[in-house]
Every structure is written in structure tokens, then in C-alpha cells.
């Protein structure tokens, strides 16, 4: 399937590719883009959500804040990363680091790879709806460039937004975006994002 | 062909070339055996290894140790060392406060916090360092005054401020006047943040009470030493008040990492190279 041109894959094959365990994950990208990356932890409120990784490193000669959802390659790692599904603490950690980037004028790169926010009782008890809501609102006020790349799954627009970039399209469309990392389909991705308003939110923050 | 993930992970970051200490550390009082592994201690070897045993046990450092560790050679320039404590409340318990102060002064200690400027791997920084030996590193009027002035100095010099915390909390012998230092210091931290300057906090064993609840946990980056105890209320008081069973790792650095309060737990030998790298990234 890997050898075939993206255009010849069925919709479901594209989804399978987007979820493939051998895909590069956020930390694979970050450590290649910024070998001096320093990872930060915690929301400073009560937990460290390991489904969301973040930190600073030098990219293109500039200190850059990286945020991304991280999955695991084997079962224990997947459990530790909660399959890339963020709890409220993950959104709060992302916003803490986004505020820090704003303080220092660091651009932010968001690497989205998640099936969606965690659908669990604990997440409800700790206010996941409010955490997502606050994140969406606050992203509009982060006065630094924010570039979002969907590197695998972008399930449930909510996570794409908290990962960085304001309102986005709905789940089905974003699942398809996984293919753009493999070449083709970039225009379509851009179109979909524009229709969903996500692109606009990003562009608003570019100088 | 791109490097594989494992190759990328073994790349040595450029900042690891920074030496682990800016100069030799002063000798400190040590037990004959390591409390971590029980092995007899080789003082010279331990000093060269910034008082970290091979087993990973970190011996508590003093303010002058941290200054020697972080500052290059003789670049440390101390400020406001002439601000001195007074027994304003005529405090008697458990012993007269003026005697406590005099005794500490006779031991050559100059209050629980020292602050000033230095070069760290050639990079100009402001430093604030707690000394646990001076009344348990407690936040006092003098400590708060030096910290606030230092933080304001960093803001006006446009330099990063690096704090090394080791404190039992606010100094009870100064009562509410000590508690007010929490507000004073944090006002100055807020000014540093508003000026867009980096604030890095090194949390060493122990960091508690009014110090943890004021400026020690407000860093842009909070870095804890391994196994340092960090918290607000100590375990003894919690047990007395609530009869709670506390987990064995309660309030350790790893516990606070898991609970979102610190960004990372970093062995002492890596703290200076890491700080040099962070200063480069943030300035
Ligand atoms: Zn030992």
C-alpha cells in the first residue's frame, strides 16, 4: 500500500495510513527539526498529560515552541500516551506553553496526530469541555505565528484546534489530511481548512 | 537517507559541551558514608562530581556551593550583602531570634538568600541562591528584599534571573513581616515576566511552604533535582492534621513532575549545561 500513489488509495486505506504505527510521530519530527529540543512537562495545575508533548528548540535559527500529540509504538507506550488522546491537563499544558511562546515571541509549530479528546469519565470530572473551550478562545489571542501540520490523524476537530489553530473542519475531513504528509492532496487540505475557517485563524497571526 | 530515530536521539546536543561547574566547589560537611548507598565517601572525588554520589544521591549544597557551581570563575558580583536582619518582633521561641541571627552570622552565614550577577558559560545572568543553613533557608525580610531587588535588577538589565531554592518556607520568627515577602517577591517576579525576561527556577531539597507558594514555582521553566522534596505542607503536618496515608514518593521531584508542577527533573551534573542552553534559547 505504501508504494501506491495517494490518488489510487481508497478512503479507508488513507485512514489506515494515517493511523499506521510506523508513521513518524510528533517527537520524531521535533527531534529532527530541532536536535537541541528541551521537553517541558506539566500544566502547573495538577498533572502532566503525556499525550501532549511540548518544549523549545532551535528551528531555522529561531527558538521555536513545539507542541504535538504523541502516540506510542508499543502497547505500554500507547497506554502511557493514552493513544494520543488528550485529557483536560493536555489542553492546559498546551496553553501554558503557548502563553510562554507569546511572552518570548517564539513562533509555535503544532503537530497534530490524535483520534480526538479522551472520552472518559475522569476527563469529564476535571472539566475537559471547559479546557477545550478556553483553549480555542485563547488561541486567537496568541500574538505569534502559529503553524499547524497534521502529521497523522486529526480526528475530531477539537484536538486540531487545541493543538493549534482555531476552528477547523469536522472529524471526517481531518482524518483524510493524514495523506498530505505523503505528498499529494495539499491543495485539497488547504481548501478544506479554508472552508472550515482553520486556515484563516492561522493566517491572522502571521506577520 | 535520513538518520534513523535512534541515531537522532544519540546526537549530542551542542550545549553539552558546557562544563558541569564554573569552578571548584567549596568543601562541605559530609557524613562518612553515603545515605543513599552506604559506601564510604571519597571527598575529593565527590567534590569534583559536584557532590553527587555514584549511586545518584545528591548532597545538599550551600549558597556558596551553588554560586561556585553556576558562576564562571570569579565573575560573581554579590549585591546588597549589607542588608541585615533585625529582631523586629522580639521573638523568643524556640530561642530568642536575635541569638539565632548572631549565631548564624558567627558561622559566616549572610542570610538565607544571596543575590547578584555572574557569567554562566560566558552568558550574563542574575542569580538568587537560598542557603538552607541560615534558619532553614527561610524567606525573611532580608531574603525578600534581596530577591525583589535582584529580580528588578534583572528586569532593568534585561537579563535572565536564575533562582536556586532550598527553603523550609517563610521565617516564623518574623511573623507576618516574613509572609509579606511572598507578595513582595512575587510582585517583582511579575515585573520580570511583564518585561518578557526569562525566569528559571532550580528546586533543590527541600523547597517548601511560603517559598514554594511564592516565587520558587513561578519559573518559565521549573527544574527539580532528583529526589528533592517539594511541596507546601510537609508530610508530618499533613499526617497530624488528616491522618492520611501518604504514598512513599509523596512530594518528591518525580511526584511533582507527574503532578504537573515541574517541567523536568535534572541531575545536578546537567543543570549548568542545561541553563546555558536555555539562556541561549531565551535571549
Ligand atoms: Zn551513594
Residue B211 vs residue B11, higher pLDDT: B211
DSSP B252: B
d(CA A11, CA A17): 10
B84-117: per-residue pLDDT in tens? Answer: 999 999 999 889 999 999 999 999 999 999 999 9
Q: Indicate whether this complex's ipTM tops 0.90.
A: yes
Domain B2-25+61-282 CATH class label: alpha beta
Residues of chain A contacting residue B270, judged by C-beta atoms under 8 Å apart: none
- Work out the percent of chain A whose per-residue pLDDT is above 90: 57
Domains, in order of start, for chain A: 11-203 (3.90.226.10)
Across the interface, which of B262, B274, B281 has its CB nearest the CB of A63? B281
- Of B149, B148, B162, B150, the C-alpha closest to B283 is B162
The pair phi, psi for residue B113, each rounded to 5°, is: -135, 135
Subunit contact B13:A36, Cβ cutoff 8 A: yes
A99-147: per-residue pLDDT in tens? Answer: 999 999 999 999 999 999 999 999 999 999 999 999 999 999 999 999 9
Subunit contact A40:B221, Cβ cutoff 8 A: yes
Instruction: Compute the count of residue pairs across chains A and B with CB atoms less than 8 Å apart.
Output: 66
Mean predicted confidence (pLDDT) in B151-177: 97
Subunit contact A35:B13, Cβ cutoff 8 A: yes
Domain residue spans of chain B: 2-25+61-282
Residue B13 vs residue B137, higher pLDDT: B137
d(CA B248, CA B79): 41
- Cβ pair B166, B215 in contact under 8 A: no
Q: DSSP characters for A110-136?
A: EEEEES-S--SHHHHHTTHHHHHHHHH
The answer to whether A197 faces chain B, any CB pair under 8 Å, is no
d(CA B183, CA B178): 10
The C-alpha of A38 sits at a distance from chain B's nearest C-alpha, in angstroms, of: 9
Average pLDDT of the residues of chain B: 93
B170-221: per-residue pLDDT in tens? Answer: 999 999 999 999 999 999 999 999 999 999 999 999 999 999 999 999 999 9
Amino acid at each position: 500500500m505504501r508504494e501506491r500513489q495517494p490518488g489510487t488509495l481508497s478512503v479507508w486505506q488513507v485512514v489506515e495510513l494515517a493511523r499506521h504505527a510506523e508513521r513518524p510521530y510528533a517527537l520524531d519530527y521535533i527531534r529532527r527539526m530541532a536536535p537541541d529540543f528541551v521537553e517541558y512537562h506539566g500544566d502547573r495545575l495538577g498533572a502532566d498529560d503525556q499525550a501532549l508533548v511540548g518544549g523549545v528548540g532551535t528551528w531555522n535559527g529561531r527558538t521555536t515552541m513545539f507542541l504535538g500529540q504523541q502516540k506510542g509504538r508499543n502497547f505500554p507506550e500507547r497506554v502511557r500516551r493514552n493513544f494520543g488522546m488528550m485529557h483536560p491537563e493536555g489542553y492546559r499544558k498546551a496553553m501554558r506553553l503557548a502563553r510562554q511562546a507569546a511572552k518570548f515571541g517564539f513562533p509555535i509549530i503544532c503537530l497534530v496526530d490524535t483520534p480526538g479528546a479522551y472520552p472518559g469519565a475522569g476527563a469529564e470530572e476535571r472539566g475537559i469541555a471547559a479546557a477545550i473551550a478556553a483553549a480555542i478562545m485563547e488561541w486567537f489571542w496568541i500574538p505569534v505565528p502559529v503553524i499547524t501540520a497534521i502529521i497523522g490523524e486529526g480526528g475530531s476537530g477539537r484536538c486540531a484546534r487545541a493543538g493549534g489553530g482555531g476552528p477547523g473542519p469536522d472529524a471526517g475531513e481531518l482524518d483524510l489530511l493524514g495523506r498530505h504528509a505523503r505528498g499529494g492532496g495539499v491543495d485539497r487540505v488547504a481548501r478544506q481548512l479554508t472552508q472550515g475557517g482553520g486556515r484563516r485563524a492561522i493566517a491572522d497571526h502571521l506577520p | 537517507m535520513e538518520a534513523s530515530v535512534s541515531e537522532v536521539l544519540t546526537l549530542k546536543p551542542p550545549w553539552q559541551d558546557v562544563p558541569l561547574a564554573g569552578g571548584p566547589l567549596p568543601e562541605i560537611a559530609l557524613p562518612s558514608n553515603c545515605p543513599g548507598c552506604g559506601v564510604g565517601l571519597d571527598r575529593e572525588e565527590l567534590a569534583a562530581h559536584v557532590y553527587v554520589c555514584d549511586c545518584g544521591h545528591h548532597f545538599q549544597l550551600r549558597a556558596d556551593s551553588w554560586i561556585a557551581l553556576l558562576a564562571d570563575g570569579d565573575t560573581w558580583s554579590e549585591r546588597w550583602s549589607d542588608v541585615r536582619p533585625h529582631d523586629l518582633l522580639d521573638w523568643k521561641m524556640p530561642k530568642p531570634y536575635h541569638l539565632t541571627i548572631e549565631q548564624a552570622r558567627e558561622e559566616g552565614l549572610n542570610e538565607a538568600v544571596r543575590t547578584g550577577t555572574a557569567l554562566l558559560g560566558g552568558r550574563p545572568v542574575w542569580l538568587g541562591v537560598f542557603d538552607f543553613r541560615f534558619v532553614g533557608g527561610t524567606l525573611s525580610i532580608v531574603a525578600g528584599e534581596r530577591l525583589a531587588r535582584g529580580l528588578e535588577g534583572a528586569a532593568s538589565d534585561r537579563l535572565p534571573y536564575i533562582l536556586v531554592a532550598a527553603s523550609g518556607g517563610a521565617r516564623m520568627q518574623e511573623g507576618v513581616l516574613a509572609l509579606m515577602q511572598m507578595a513582595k517577591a512575587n510582585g517583582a517576579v511579575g515585573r520580570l515576566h511583564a518585561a518578557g525576561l526569562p525566569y528559571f527556577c532550580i528546586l533543590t531539597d527541600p523547597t517548601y511552604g511560603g517559598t514554594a507558594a511564592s516565587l520558587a514555582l513561578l519559573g518559565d521553566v521549573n527544574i527539580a533535582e532528583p529526589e528533592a522534596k517539594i511541596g507546601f505542607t510537609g508530610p508530618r503536618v499533613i499526617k497530624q492534621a488528616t491522618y492520611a496515608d501518604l504514598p512513599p514518593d509523596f512530594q518528591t521531584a518525580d511526584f511533582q513532575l507527574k503532578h504537573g508542577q515541574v517541567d523536568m527533573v535534572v541531575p545536578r551534573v546537567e543543570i549548568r549545561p542545561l541553563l546555558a542552553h536555555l539562556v541561549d534559547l531565551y535571549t
